Amino acid sequence: MTLGSLADTHTIRSPAHVEYGSGAVDALESFARDRGIDSVLVVTDDHLAASGVIDTPVARLEAAGVDVVVYDGVAPEPKLAMAEAAAEQVGDRDLVVGVGGGSSMDTAKLAAALAAHGGPVRDMLGMDNVPGETGPLALVPTTAGTGSEVTHVGVFADERDGGVKKVVFSPFLFADLAAVDPDLTETMPPGVAAATGLDALTHAIESYVSVLRTPYTDTLARRAVELVAENLRPAVAQGPENDEVRANMSLAATLAGQAFVNSGLGAVHALTYPLGMECGLGHGLANGVLLPHVMRYNVPAEVDRFADLADLLGEQRRPGESDRAFADRSVEAVFDLLADVNVPTSIAEYGDFDRETFADFADVAFEHSEHNIDRNPRRMDREDVIGVFEAADEGR
Ligand SMILES: [Fe+2]
């Protein structure tokens, strides 16, 4: 095990309050009472609203005597216009609660910022462009993966720029309360459980090898990798039948979110943007299919770290096996996991690509996600990015 230096100082960013475990959603009631909240906008999607997943959070808020209005216009890979529409509905409501996956929670963050400060929304994109505190914000995940509940990041498609993903980062986007209740993940379909769980694994692995990792993020990332390795397969296969594996996946997602928000990510999250846009592929799935290919590229730069990851992913070192050979098995372990949760190991499953397309993908990755490439442990230029896409096209 190779942890970073304990001698340096590190900033640790997190939401004000994280409530975790079965029944954690009940914390919404005391949160609303303690702050004298009278009215709330719940930000979610129409599927969660119609299927009743939001009923428990809404009931807890109503139990505190709060008037609840629901905005259910969020869609996967949300657009900036959704945050603007949600912000209009905030009006003078004194709490915004995001309930759902990363899309709903990200939209709630930006809606709260827009409601507090006004637009235009594009002025808030990028790093540290939210002018100040938002009103009270609570986030309630219903998937186990994005970690958005514990981050100060939102990702949006910019409909005025060909749907390119744009990121907003601001310390003012941290929630006042993150209520992580695994009971709310019970109705998650297996495909969503797989995709979101692979997003969490990608967060943990990219954090563990990020150039900005710290002993604090290492500790969170290591445990998140173990939890995903032990629980994602049964979480996908058994779903609602197995409370323990779902609780472990919720914990893994939140730990991985806390890890990456303090360490940054890496090239997987950069390469995911153009791939997802081109193929209409969701964030978690795009990360999952690219993860082992980026790991394979990165192993030579961080052999010890990838050997740690092989161990955390459940691989056993063979007698006499070299560090490098064992490190390479971390890549194979992720390929095995993808296959077991029915996720392709090649991007050729999602489209007919050529080198020219990959060159365009590389340009998009550098233009919009260079901060993630900068944190990757092995340096990458445009040709390197094209090479990783070609390897991902070839497959395992
Ligand atoms: Fe992610």
4 inside domain: no
Same domain for 198 and 291, yes or no, is yes
Angle, helices 283-298/323-340, rounded to nearest 10 degrees: 160
Same domain for 178 and 313, yes or no, is no
Q: 169 C-alpha vs ligand 1 centroid, how far in Å? A: 14
- Domain end call among 169, 185, 201: 185
Nearest C-alpha neighbor of 1 from the set 334, 312, 322: 312
In the chain, DSSP assigns E strands to 18-20, 39-45, 67-74, 96-100, 126-127, 137-141, 153-158, 164-169, 177-180
Q: 380 C-alpha vs ligand 1 centroid, how far in Å? A: 20
Cα 69 to Cα 230: distance, rounded to the nearest angstrom:
39
Q: 294 C-alpha vs ligand 1 centroid, how far in Å? A: 14
Nearest C-alpha neighbor of 287 from the set 219, 222, 343: 343
CATH number reported for the structural domain that contains residue 249 in this entry: 1.20.1090.10
> How confident is the model over 30-51, as pLDDT tens digits?
999 999 999 999 999 999 999 9
Q: 49 C-alpha vs ligand 1 centroid, how far in Å? A: 24
Same domain for 236 and 333, yes or no, is yes
Cα 111 to Cα 297: distance, rounded to the nearest angstrom:
38
- Domain count within the chain: 2
> How confident is the model over 309-350, as pLDDT tens digits?
999 999 999 999 999 999 999 999 999 999 999 999 999 999
Cα 255 to Cα 220: distance, rounded to the nearest angstrom:
5
Angle, helices 190-209/323-340, rounded to nearest 10 degrees: 160
- What are the tokens at 352? 């007919």
Same domain for 130 and 224, yes or no, is no
Q: 56 C-alpha vs ligand 1 centroid, how far in Å? A: 26
Nearest C-alpha neighbor of 207 from the set 265, 270, 150: 265
- Reported confidence tier of residue 6, pLDDT bands at 50, 70, 90: low
Q: 154 C-alpha vs ligand 1 centroid, how far in Å? A: 10
- Domain end call among 161, 185, 209: 185
Nearest C-alpha neighbor of 34 from the set 66, 72, 73, 74: 66
Residue 4 has pLDDT above 60, yes or no: no
Same domain for 204 and 262, yes or no, is yes
Same domain for 252 and 293, yes or no, is yes
pLDDT at site 315 = 98
Sign for the CA dihedral angle at 301, 307, 309, 313 comes to positive
DSSP 54: T
pLDDT at site 9 = 84
User: What does R_g of the chain's alpha carbons equal in angstroms?
Assistant: 20
Q: 203 C-alpha vs ligand 1 centroid, how far in Å? A: 6
1 inside domain: no
- Evaluate whether 262 touches 13 at the Cβ level (below 8 Å): yes
106 inside domain: yes
Same domain for 278 and 165, yes or no, is no
Q: 304 C-alpha vs ligand 1 centroid, how far in Å? A: 24
DSSP 388: H
Same domain for 386 and 314, yes or no, is yes
Q: 155 C-alpha vs ligand 1 centroid, how far in Å? A: 9
pLDDT at site 11 = 87
Q: 48 C-alpha vs ligand 1 centroid, how far in Å? A: 21
DSSP 377: S
356 inside domain: yes
Residue 217 has pLDDT above 70, yes or no: yes
- Reported confidence tier of residue 5, pLDDT bands at 50, 70, 90: low
DSSP-derived pairing of the beta strands 164-169 and 153-158: antiparallel
Q: 200 C-alpha vs ligand 1 centroid, how far in Å? A: 7
- Evaluate whether 303 touches 323 at the Cβ level (below 8 Å): yes
Q: 121 C-alpha vs ligand 1 centroid, how far in Å? A: 22
Q: How many C-beta atoms surround the C-beta of residue 299 within 10 A?
A: 22
Q: 66 C-alpha vs ligand 1 centroid, how far in Å? A: 33
Determine the distance from the C-alpha atom of residue 142 to the mean position of all C-alpha atoms in its chain, rounded to a whole number.
13
- What are the tokens at 325? 């050979």
Same domain for 141 and 262, yes or no, is no
Q: 34 C-alpha vs ligand 1 centroid, how far in Å? A: 33
Sign for the CA dihedral angle at 355, 360, 366, 372 comes to negative
Cα 184 to Cα 197: distance, rounded to the nearest angstrom:
15
Q: 14 C-alpha vs ligand 1 centroid, how far in Å? A: 17
> How confident is the model over 160-207, as pLDDT tens digits?
998 888 899 999 999 999 999 999 999 999 999 999 999 999 999 999
- Reported confidence tier of residue 119, pLDDT bands at 50, 70, 90: confident
Which residues lie at CB < 5 A from ion ligand 1? Answer: 199
Same domain for 130 and 210, yes or no, is no
> How confident is the model over 139-157, as pLDDT tens digits?
999 999 999 999 999 999 9
Residue 357 has pLDDT above 90, yes or no: yes
Q: How many C-beta atoms surround the C-beta of residue 80 within 10 A?
A: 25
Q: 289 C-alpha vs ligand 1 centroid, how far in Å? A: 13
Q: 206 C-alpha vs ligand 1 centroid, how far in Å? A: 10
Residue 2 has pLDDT above 50, yes or no: no
Helical segments of 99-214, H only: 102-117, 190-209
> How confident is the model over 232-290, as pLDDT tens digits?
999 999 988 899 999 999 999 999 999 999 999 999 999 998 998 888 899 999 999 99
- What are the tokens at 97? 């609660």
Which residue matches tokens 């995709």? Answer: 195
Burial 119-157 (b: 16+ CB within 10 A, else e): eebeebbeeeebeeebbbbbbbbbbbbbbbbbbbbbbbb
Same domain for 38 and 71, yes or no, is yes
- Domain end call among 168, 185, 202: 185
Same domain for 174 and 211, yes or no, is no
pLDDT at site 280 = 85
3 inside domain: no
Cα 117 to Cα 130: distance, rounded to the nearest angstrom:
8
- Evaluate whether 343 touches 252 at the Cβ level (below 8 Å): no
Q: 321 C-alpha vs ligand 1 centroid, how far in Å? A: 33
9 inside domain: no
Distances (CA, A) of 126 to 86, 121, 123, 262: 20, 11, 8, 17
120 inside domain: yes
Q: 146 C-alpha vs ligand 1 centroid, how far in Å? A: 6
Q: Cα angle at 46 between 40 and 50, to 5 degrees?
A: 95
CATH number reported for the structural domain that contains residue 79 in this entry: 3.40.50.1970
User: Domain of 123?
Assistant: 18-185
3-class secondary-structure state, position 38: coil
Q: 287 C-alpha vs ligand 1 centroid, how far in Å? A: 7
